[in-house]
């Protein structure tokens, strides 16, 4: 995945290195962090654009995010697409979780899935929740999944 900052600046080194430096810089500035990872997608004709974000929340001081986008022309059902979003988030969370634990930074994985059964995305709720929880991560779904439903949604 190619990562960038919100201002468009490309991140050329491994994302784990960028996250480690970010955590150390924020800790030195006296900020307590929480990291939330989420993904979202949008269908544009025959192309599906996926966005994944790593959101850094500074306790009482706002936040910022790192962004990765990917495009696919593979046909997917809604449920497949939602579970692919979750797998993208879990992949990043898994890559970072040991480092976040070492720095005592809380981690949540957010899914752009509605808990209300009246919404189509609810069809993937049980699988997504099971996948995220079985990996040992804190799970958040709508309306509490701002990393995916707000932040990632803005970058696809």
User: 73-115: per-residue pLDDT in tens?
Assistant: 999 999 999 999 999 999 999 999 999 999 999 999 999 999 9
Residue 115: CB atoms within 10 Å: 15
For 130-144, write each residue's pLDDT tens digit.
Answer: 999 999 999 999 999
Is the model's pTM score more than 0.85? yes
Pick the CATH number of 3-155 from 1.10.3470, 3.40.50, 3.20.20, 3.30.420: 3.30.420
Q: Looking at residue 98, what DSSP letter applies?
A: H
Q: Please name which of 5, 23, 52 lies closest in space to residue 156, comparing C-alpha atoms.
A: 52
- pLDDT grade for 24, boundaries at 50, 70 and 90: very high
Given its phi and psi angles, is residue 34 left (phi above 0), alpha (psi -120 to 50 degrees) or beta?
Answer: beta
d(C-alpha 90, C-alpha 101), whole Å: 16
Question: Quick check: 51 and 68 in contact, CB under 8 A?
Answer: yes
pLDDT of 19 above 90: yes
- For residue 124, what pLDDT band results from cuts at 50, 70 and 90? very high
Q: Which helix (H) or strand (E) holds 67?
A: strand 63-72
């Amino acid at each position: 995945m190619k990562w960038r900052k919100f201002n468009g600046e490309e991140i050329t080194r491994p994302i784990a290195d960028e996250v480690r430096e970010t955590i150390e810089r924020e800790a030195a500035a006296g900020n307590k962090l929480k990291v939330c990872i989420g993904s979202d997608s949008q269908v544009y004709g025959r192309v599906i654009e996926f966005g994944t974000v790593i959101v850094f929340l500074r306790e009482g001081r706002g936040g910022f995010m790192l962004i990765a986008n990917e495009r696919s022309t593979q046909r997917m059902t809604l449920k497949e697409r939602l579970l692919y979003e979750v797998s993208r988030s879990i992949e990043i969370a898994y890559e970072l979780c040991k480092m976040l634990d070492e720095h005592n930074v809380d981690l949540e994985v957010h899914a752009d899935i509605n808990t209300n059964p009246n919404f189509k995305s609810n069809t993937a709720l049980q699988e997504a929740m099971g996948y995220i929880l079985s990996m040992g991560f804190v799970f958040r779904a709508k309306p509490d999944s701002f990393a995916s439903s707000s932040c990632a949604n803005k970058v696809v």
